[in-house]
């Protein structure tokens, strides 16, 4: 993606990397339209080099952010408590626990 910026007073059009913010007199273009850009007779066009490395970094950052959001949104099964007793009954989401029998090897 590219951003086309123009200044009537200077009869200049600038085609550069996609802008991060909105400004009047700016238009976002796809690569196909940017390649076929024609300006009015007497105008100058300035084509800034595409910052492909910066775009790749942004893509990597965006992918990392998307992965972090997916991980945070994924349902996590709560770990079952261990060593806290034996379940002897259940009513809905509540459980009735009985104390676990004492470890036969442990002294009191």
pLDDT at 45 over 60: yes
Confidence of residue 25 (pLDDT cuts 50, 70, 90): confident
The domain tally of the chain equals 1
Q: Let me know if residue 71 belongs to a domain.
A: no
Residue 49 token pair: 């080099």
Q: If DSSP codes are grouped into helix, strand and coil, which group holds residue 63?
A: helix
Q: Let me know if residue 8 belongs to a domain.
A: yes
Q: Let me know if residue 43 belongs to a domain.
A: yes
Confidence of residue 41 (pLDDT cuts 50, 70, 90): very high
DSSP string, 69-97: HHHHHS--PPPPP-SS-EEEEEETTEEEE
Query: What is the structure's pLDDT at 36?
Result: 92
User: Beta strands 44-47 and 12-17: pairing type?
Assistant: parallel
Q: Let me know if residue 34 belongs to a domain.
A: yes
Q: In whole angstroms, give the CA distance from residue 49 to residue 39.
A: 18
85, with CB counted inside 10 A (0-12, 13-18, 19+), is middle
Give the structural domain span for 19. Answer: 1-49
Q: Let me know if residue 30 belongs to a domain.
A: yes
Confidence of residue 65 (pLDDT cuts 50, 70, 90): confident
Q: Let me know if residue 80 belongs to a domain.
A: no
Q: Let me know if residue 21 belongs to a domain.
A: yes
Confidence of residue 31 (pLDDT cuts 50, 70, 90): confident
């Amino acid at each position: 993606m590219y951003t086309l910026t123009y200044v009537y007073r200077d009869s200049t059009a600038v085609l550069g990397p996609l802008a991060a913010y909105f400004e009047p007199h700016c238009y976002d273009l796809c690569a196909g339209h940017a390649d076929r850009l024609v300006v009015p007779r007497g105008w100058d066009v300035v084509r800034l080099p595409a910052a492909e490395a910066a775009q790749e970094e942004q893509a990597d950052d965006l992918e990392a952010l998307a992965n972090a959001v997916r991980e945070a949104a994924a349902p996590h099964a709560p770990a079952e408590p261990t060593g806290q007793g034996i379940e002897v009954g259940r009513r809905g989401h509540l459980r009735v626990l009985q104390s676990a029998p004492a470890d036969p090897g442990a002294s009191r």
